[in-house]
Copies of this chain bind each other. A is one copy, B any other.
């Protein structure tokens, strides 16, 4: 009984890691669609969101069944509820990648991103991919150290976000209000993507250590 329980929980964890990998591909492709104004890639991202929703639903159902069948308590119960929440974070990250792809699609054949801010979005895409890859590692290995690194990457994303606003608000911004709106929303999507990655890491840290907050080493 307990063995099959462990197996099922390990398998759910493997599904979460796979889900994190898919979300990483989605945000990477979405950034490509955005920077290259590539509508085919944008469509691929948009089509790739439904499978993520289905995975989330399947993970939730399996967690639910596990609780109903095994009546776990304490850490075991917490592990299952954490898995449900992580699935929910990852699904939301997938939605945000889709939002990015939709902005790229909406402006096609033009690019939503003017030359001046391309490097910022290129970097935001890299940071987003790194964040979700590390989140996958944190889930797979319950790695508290990797969770700490993730907070630093999130700081990097916040810096990029501020840099974006500086560019758009500079006196020489020649691209008008529509582009400013696109960039504001895109910046927000990447920022929220990073927030959810941090949330995944914090949930794992809480599960492992019982501490609610991640604090950086002294």
Contacts and interface: CB of A to CB of B under 8 A. Distances in A.
Contacts of A71: 71
A166 to B, nearest CB: 12
Interface residues on A, range: 20 to 34
Contacts of A180: 177, 180-181, 184
Interface stretch (A17-25, A37-45, A74-82): A74-82
A186 B77 CA distance: 38
Interface string A86-107: 0000000000000000000000
A87 to B, nearest CB: 12
A185 interface: yes
Contacts of A78: 64
Nearest to A84: B81
A168 B112 CA distance: 17
Contacts of A146: none
Contacts of A217: none
A177 B173 contact: yes
5 contacts: A64-B78, A168-B177, A180-B184, A181-B184, A184-B185
Interface of A: 64, 67-68, 71-74, 77-78, 81, 84, 165, 168-169, 173, 177-178, 180-181, 184-185, 188
